[in-house]
Amino acid sequence: MPLEIVTIPCRTDNYAFLLHDAATGQTALVDAPEPEAIRAALDSRGWTLSDIIITHHHDDHIAGIAALRSGTRVIGNAADAHRLPPLDLEVRPGEQFTTCGELAHVIDVPGHTVGHIALHLPGSHAVFTADSLMALGCGRLFEGTADQMWDSLTRLAALPRDTQVCSGHEYTAANARFAITIDPDNLDLQSRLADISQTRAQGIATVPSTLDLELRTNPFLRAGQPAIKDRLGMPDASDAACFAEIRARKDRF
């Protein structure tokens, strides 16, 4: 059976995720922006944390680990171990490990940071992307290059279309306002923009989304589409170059 996935709002606009296996009672956490909201989510369900999985080293994804790690296994990218909390299991892109009785595939997604990883759990039809692929967006290029991020997004885009995209922030409304400037004739995007306004007005999270929805509406994934290239005035440019232009425009937006 697929794992139960719980989205936990943290800090101002972060999300953490709990993964729970009812058969074994094991519970994993993806990223730990703060301990209080995560503890409350665990306590309200009577769950005990087994694993903490780290996507990247930024403080708003690891600040709660010290307070939560007692009795848990902390898992992160071996290449980033020097700037992560102490790891009990070092993993590498292309490897697999088991959490909550399910295989997790480690995907290399540099761009936002050079050591960023995503976790794909095919049995639960979910990918945990943090600040790489986001709802209607992608992370800023703090350490990596546009080419690296485009390659990362291309890897994620190749996953099954029904995959839930569990990203790290509630940036969707702002991302939508930018996306419509890049892809104004996209009817799916227009519909999504209206849905986001209603959802956020009710205080409901827009995360997770689905990969299918992102492929149809996220301009950063659609950089290779002829209509997008024409809109950018770059009809003959490479997909990566068009992505770089979209990312630069978002930085100025």
In tens, the pLDDT along 78-123 reads 999 999 999 999 999 999 999 999 999 999 999 999 999 999 999 9
Query: Are residue 139 and residue 211 in the same domain, yes or no?
Result: no
CA distances from 72 to 15, 67, 158 (A): 20, 11, 32
Domain that holds residue 138: 4-167
Per-residue pLDDT for 201 more than 90?
A: yes
Query: Are residue 49 and residue 117 in the same domain, yes or no?
Result: yes
pLDDT at 1: 85
b/e per residue 155-169 (b: at least 16 CB within 10 A): bbbebeeebbbbbbb
CATH of the domain at 99: 3.60.15.10
Can you give the pTM of this predicted structure? 0.97
Query: Are residue 137 and residue 186 in the same domain, yes or no?
Result: no
Total structural domains within the chain: 2
In percent, the amount of the chain with pLDDT more than 90 equals 100
Helix axes 172-182, 187-201, angle to 10 degrees: 160
Query: Are residue 47 and residue 95 in the same domain, yes or no?
Result: yes
Average pLDDT over residues 226-253: 97
- Examine the fold and report which residue of 112, 144, 167 is the final residue of a domain before the chain moves on: 167
In angstroms, rounded to a whole number, what is the distance separating the alpha carbons of residues 24 and 30?
Answer: 18
Query: Are residue 146 and residue 47 in the same domain, yes or no?
Result: yes
Query: Are residue 133 and residue 221 in the same domain, yes or no?
Result: no
- For 80, the 3-state DSSP assignment is helix
In this prediction, residue 149 has a pLDDT band, given cuts at 50, 70 and 90, of very high
pLDDT at 228: 97
Query: Are residue 32 and residue 125 in the same domain, yes or no?
Result: yes
Q: Round the CA-based radius of gyration of the chain to a whole number and report it.
A: 18
